[in-house]
Amino acid sequence: MNRLFILFGLTYCFQWCQAQTPATERIQSIEKILKQPSPLDGIQFRNIGPTVMSGRVTDLDVNPENPHEFYVAYASGGLWYTNTNGLTLQPVFDQEAALTIGDVAVDWKRGVLWVGTGEVNSSRSSYAGTGVYKSTDQGRTWLHMGLEESHHIGRIVLHPSNPNIAWVAVLGHLYTANPERGLYKTTDGGQHWNQTLFINDTTGCVDLILDPMHPEILYASSWTRTRKAWNFTGCGSGSAIYKSQDGGEYWTQLSGADSGFPQNEGIGRIGLAICQKDPQVLYALLDNNNHRPKEINANKDLDARELKKMSRDEFLKLDEKKLDRFLRQNDYPEKYTASGVKQAVRNNEYTVAAVADWYLSDADASLFDTPVFGAELYRSRDAGKTWMKTHDKPMDGMYFTYGYYFGTVAVSPKNPEEVWIAGYPLAHSTDGGKQFQLMDGDNCHPDYHRIWIHPNDANYLIVGNDGGVNITYDAGKHWYKANNPAVGQFYAIQTDDAKPYNVYGGLQDNGTWTGPSTHEENNGWHQSGAYPYKELGGGDGMQVEVDRRNNNTVYFGYQFGNYFRADKTTGMAEPVKPIHDIGQKAYRFNWQTPIHLSRHQQDIFYLGSNYFHRSLEQGNHPQTQQPELAPTPLKGNVPYGTLTSIAESPKQIGLLYAGSDNGLIHLSKDLGMTWTRISNQLPQGLWVSRLVASQHKISRVYATLNGYRQDDFNPYVFVSDDYGRNWQRITKGLPLEPVNVLREDPANEKILYVGTDNGLYVSFDGGMEFIPWRGSLPRVAIHDLNIQERESEIILGTHGRSLYRCQLEEIRAYPGIRQKDLYLFTMDSIRYNSKWGLQDNALHEMTTDSVLVRYYVKDAGNVNVQLLNAKNVVFRNFNLQARQGFNQYFLHTVWDAPGTTTTAPTNKPLVLQPGRYTLLITTASGTKEKVNLSVYKKD
């Protein structure tokens, strides 16, 4: 027994001591790929939304002279610019090494932008940045300015008059300790940085403010926090408030001792605000993780923690109505009644503690019900020397226990008594924080992260939350939603077999949605009131499965295994989550619990906790299979030792693979009755992000592992051709970025698609080498991808830019044409329109249309394009600049006649008439290819 325990412990020591990836190597690997052209870049993806739910905003920077102009930073969707008050937004930070943003600072007088990458909301889906970037041309081009190991940046503050001086609050690594955190200052525009405040290697700076009247005075807040895959500690003695009176060179701690601001191990994240009119007034918003004293109230409802401490006799004396109310309020199965539970305890079938543990073991319950003080607001009237809590009553519901996810407070520039708090709700006080009023609008998403108040109009606010940007002109009575960017954060996606087929997906804090794959984003739904995407359920949307026998029965859910089977027509939904019994050890469910619906018999439904669960009745009566597939000695406040991926062979029913967050992969060949571990040859302890059973070879399986939670950014992709007995690593060409998903091409076993935290990659030789497929994509994380086999289309589920769609004809053709000098793809026929070339009146544009020309060239250069009629007469002749690889060009049906100018047309435009045409392309070397084009009349 001791020997086994030692071996088990050594395994876990090894698996959590793997080398971290230096940020410089990570950046270099990405930049190398960005600089190299890819032959696939000309195959363009099309974004199909959705936009209605938007995505998490981490910062706003508004032009104080013209508040219709501002920048919006999204957690994983990049930086966007508007000069139309949010009516339209354009991305300006799409091709850098990181798309996740913590803060943006703008020198509006000089048009200089600073971006700190890596958001500070330290949640499961907060991804590491690559430092600080700067643009001197309003975002057209960017320079990397260092601080690579920052990973997460809380705030950038610019000197109001000296453009060479800037300060950066660096929070540091999320999952590992590192010394490159604290407060940094530059005096040469970012060329060099000086670390002027350092507390320890798990404490960084999360917020920073400048005295508006004295720029040599700054205030910073530090935050001690450590996250592991199994545990998160969001507080510590290093969390504090600091002040500098010499431009950030030296810092003095303000909080603690006799300051009035608490200082102990329970101090969490701190947000800061200063009043522009009276800089002596400061506010500090604290996430207080200290536990509250027990409340004495005989009439209050029963509490699970109180129940756990009860003796058997005390429990048996409980009022049955009170106990029954506790059972129903906390979702105990209906079979458990007060009288029945008491009888079971009386018969020693299980203990009182087991009754309480049934509820306390639920991950959502532990997150929401931990009895901490939570959000507290403190105020200083003497520039930080002393602090006083502004309110007597607790702010229940402001943070719950998600204080690490919030931390912004804002004070009116003109009135030090008016203060706003960004938490789960948005709260407003006009009496210095004594009393608050909730100001969420009916079109506002909860979870607020940034608040901007107009310097001359306190009723004019712009806020950012998990659902995008909201704007008010009446201090929160009414809100406008600026949500036109497609910045949805998808965790997982799925398609069905309807015509046209639908796309399904679960999003971070925005539920589960479905919509048509043919969707083209526009604002017409504002008029009709019918947005094409429909919400199936709330919470953090997770995986989706669709019964393709009717394309109507859908399995979806939210975090920690809370899945449902629903009928889309009736809206009726039934839970399918396996539930443990009182007295039985609770199942552990991953944040994104894996599910799978068998393609062989679609009544068979699989779900993974730390065990494998199988239902033969559409999720009803799930059977728990032995043994436990994700055992772990590691314990914490985050469910760990859980399954993360389930795959069934498309070639054989019951041939199953299951992978876990602690790096274990198991194989079953008998529908989950028995299991064999097959991961001993693989790197240990990495998160199994995807398992794929091949549809081309029954013994082939792919595994992708993810080391992000150890700051290991190496790509891990493996293939086995013998059911996992032996593995081969296949990662050549992939950057140093975690891998989230792999898919086989259904038509060609040699073609593989891999989605990483920094883009999409394709292999044409079974994984021996990958090349990027950029196709107009931003450098966004690809969390999932799906191939709709009937339509030969690929759908990308991105975590920050919603959904993308593309045909696969060109990708599948590439292996056969890659050595050709020129290859021209067939063109679609187009129906003739008698209105082509006509302009009905001065209010309408001239009617025209276009047809897509697709071609491949081995070498970049000029190509000549000729359009010939049925008599081989050339009446269109023009040149194009072709990139190496695939190219696309839209051939218009109307074009200017020779001699025509934009100001003085000398001839009527030429119009493509009905008939058969030939398109001829000639390369500079003389290679020619032609393809037919048919322009037909309506029957």
The predicted structure's pLDDT at residue 844? 87
User: What are the b/e assignments for 825-857, b being 16+ CB within 10 Å?
Assistant: bebeebebbeebbeeeeeeeeebbbebebbbbb
Quick one: which of 439, 438, 451, 488 has its CA closest to 467?
488
Pairing of strands 830-831, 928-936: parallel
Q: With a cut of 70, list the residues of the chain below it in pLDDT.
A: 1-18, 294-299, 366-369, 898-907, 939
Radius of gyration of the chain (CA): 30
The predicted structure's pLDDT at residue 938? 81
The predicted structure's pLDDT at residue 864? 98
* Strand-pair partners of 288: 267, 374
Quick one: which of 441, 449, 404 has its CA closest to 423?
449
CA–CA dist 133, 135 (Å, integer): 7
**Counting runs of H as helices and runs of E as strands, what totals does the chain give?**
10, 68
Task: Give the number of C-alpha atoms closer than 13 A to the C-alpha of residue 386, restricted to the C-beta side.
Answer: 4
Sheet with 605-608, edge to edge strand ranges: 595-597, 605-608, 612-615, 623-625
* Spacing of C-alpha 40 from chain mean position: 25
Give CA separation, 639 vs 229, 362, 593, 737, 790, in Å.
Answer: 8, 9, 11, 25, 38
Sheet with 480-482, edge to edge strand ranges: 448-454, 457-465, 468-472, 480-482
Quick one: which of 432, 367, 377 has its CA closest to 401?
367
Phi, psi (deg, nearest 5) at residue 706: -130, 120
Write the Ramachandran bin of 800: left for phi over 0, alpha for psi from -120 to 50, otherwise beta: left
The predicted structure's pLDDT at residue 792? 98
Q: Which two tokens stand for residue 616?
A: 């033969």
The predicted structure's pLDDT at residue 907? 66
Task: Outline where 500-629 has alpha helix (H).
Answer: 525-528
